[in-house]
Amino acid sequence: MTDNNPLGTDLDDLRAKREHLRREKIYRSILLAAEKVLLSKGYTAMTMDDVAREACLSKATLYKYIDSKSKVLFEIISRYLDDQVEMVRQIVATKKRSSEKLRAIIAEVVAFHRSKSNIGRIMMMDESTSKFLRLIYENDGKAESIAFQKNLSLLKEKHSLVVKLITGVIEKGVATGEFRPVHPMETVFFLEALLSGINQARFWDKKKIDLLEGELSEKIFVFVYSSLSVQRETPFNDTVQKAYGCSRRGAKGVRECKTRTAAKTTSKR
């Protein structure tokens, strides 16, 4: 006899939803605990016992969610990419012009890198983690296990989605005449290389790029936009003027900024 009680179905759905939320909460607590252990001990010295202790879970419970150190690292990187996908997706969904979307994306990426700078530093300094990351980026699909290849493919898919979303912003800018005709995919490749390079440069010598978060992202945007703009003009709005240390605002501020940036460029030659 078939149970057609809608109330029973609703209760089952509610229980399933609560269970999903409960498991998701535990999963996030495990990853946060793993990040803390990574910061304090490094990847090489970290053990699953450390993670279980930091997460206030038994080792048996931990292994129901994540069963190895390498899986922990994969999941941390995967969640980073999930956050980036969601951030870029929200910006792309706005009704802003392509240049403003690009500005917002750069600002969010710079802020994200800074928020994760400590754990990024640990990963770069730890020999085992560095080797692990090289496997992710250089793996040819033959050296590692099937499980590793499956996880690697998942990370690449998420990264590709971020690239695709930003590429769409460039494509629309070109289509509307806001950007000059450029190769969208190549442009995103160079932008990603620039952001990654600046992040690594700050790791080695923070004083060389000792700027406030907003100032750094605006200078990166100005640099990128100057190569994309049809007029080849930098959008010296109030935020950019502040980033370049220009005291005035409006038209006079634009002239002052142009003079300052031209002088800086000349002095560096």
Is residue 38 domain-shared with residue 101, that is, in the same domain?
no
Same domain, yes or no, for 145 and 100? Answer: yes
- Rounded to whole angstroms, how far apart are CA atoms 7 and 13? 10
CA distance 43 to 39: 9
Q: What is the pLDDT of residues 34-89, one digit of tens each?
A: 988 988 888 888 899 999 999 999 999 999 999 888 888 888 888 888 989 999 99
> Does 97 share its domain with 153?
yes
Whether residue 204 sits in one domain with residue 117 = yes
Containing domain of residue 60, as a range? Answer: 7-67
Q: Count up the domains in the chain and report the number.
A: 3
Residues 54 and 159 in one domain: no
Q: How confident is the model at residue 136 (pLDDT cuts 50, 70, 90)?
A: low
In a domain, 1, yes or no: no
Residue 60 and residue 72 in one domain: no
C-alpha 25/C-alpha 256 separation (Å) is: 51
- Are residues 86 and 169 part of one domain? yes
Residue 179 phi/psi, 5-degree rounding, is: -110, 150
pTM of the shown model? 0.72
- Distance CA(41)–CA(103), nearest Å, equals 36
> In this predicted model, what pLDDT tens digit does every residue of 165-203 receive, in sequence order?
999 999 999 999 999 999 999 999 999 989 888 877 766
